[in-house]
Amino acid sequence: MPVISSSFVSPLWFPSRHVQTILPALLPRRHHYSPVRERLELPDGDFLDLDWFRSGADRLAILSHGLEGNSRNGYMRGMADALHADGWDVLAWNYRGCSGEMNRLLRYYHAGDTGDLRLLIGRAAQTYARIAVVGFSLGGNITLKYLGEAPPHPAVVSGVAVAAAVDLQACVRRLDRHADNWLYRQLFLKSLCARIEAKAQLFPGQLDLAPLNRIRGIEEYDDLYAAPIHGFRGAADYYARSSSRQFIPAIQIPTLLLSARNDPFLTAECFPTAEAEANPHFTLEAPDSGGHLGFLDFQRGIAPWTERRVVEFLRSF
């Protein structure tokens, strides 16, 4: 299953990568299932907030969100609805500090942090015979890294990454240096810097806030805060060790990477064609359009095509 042609076609009147990215996040959708929230206490004294969609199935899909997202983002709720309707129980989890309540430790989450996902899978495997992992954007990178950095839990049968930033440095530099990405960059920085301000109040004297107002890019933020807080030597070390592309050759279960060629966040480095051609377990599907987590074709109202495609892929296994 190397590089495959995609069935996704964006309407001719819907061509802009930015419209394809922004409009799906703004359109109101009615969700058919309501989650049950669970707080999971962690061995290190921290916690995770989990949203469960249960119907007593023997298979579970675990959904991982994007940068500064949460379990109740539209793309997470839509995918949860689609999978739940197809007979899956679904777990949509929040990274540390992303559920609306700040986590207890100085650390929070980062793009290569697979430890919490690994813990959740091990815990869920006590109940579910089959587990699929599905990640979006930053969560897609975490998902692919988990699948390739070490053998996954035997209960994990398949994986999907949507719009995954598999080369973190290339993606961050695209966000930082392309003028047409200014809005996304500012939104991310506003949220990330507010997180550091909140951490500084919780941990007096442990963070230097002096540079915070001078930060103009995500790479600068990562170098000053995200990397050292999480044990990296700097942004370059963080990106090199956390990018999932290097782990794709080792993936040994059926896995799909689904990304649009016109995604404003992704560069050519995020379309690992050679790895797909060499690994029979890894599929790359890259339609020409779709934006970042957009993929509206309006064939079923405003439900993104990705929901149908992910359900179809997971059904195959």
Catalytic residues, which ones?
137, 263, 292
- Give me the amino acid identity at 233: R
Gap between the Cα atoms of 46 and 118, Å rounded: 16
Per residue in 133-156, is it b (16+ CB within 10 Å) or e — as a string?
bbbbbbbbbbbbbbbbbeebeebb
Backbone angles phi, psi at 131, to 5 degrees: -130, 135
36-41 vs 47-53, strand pairing mode: antiparallel
Gap between the Cα atoms of 171 and 164, Å rounded: 10
State the burial class of residue 216 (Cβ atoms within 10 Å of its Cβ: 0-12, 13-18, 19+). exposed
**Cβ contacts of residue 17 below 8 Å, gap of 6+?**
260, 262, 263, 264, 289, 291, 292
**Cβ contacts of residue 39 below 8 Å, gap of 6+?**
47, 48, 49, 50
Tokens of 161: 């990454």
Gap between the Cα atoms of 182 and 42, Å rounded: 37
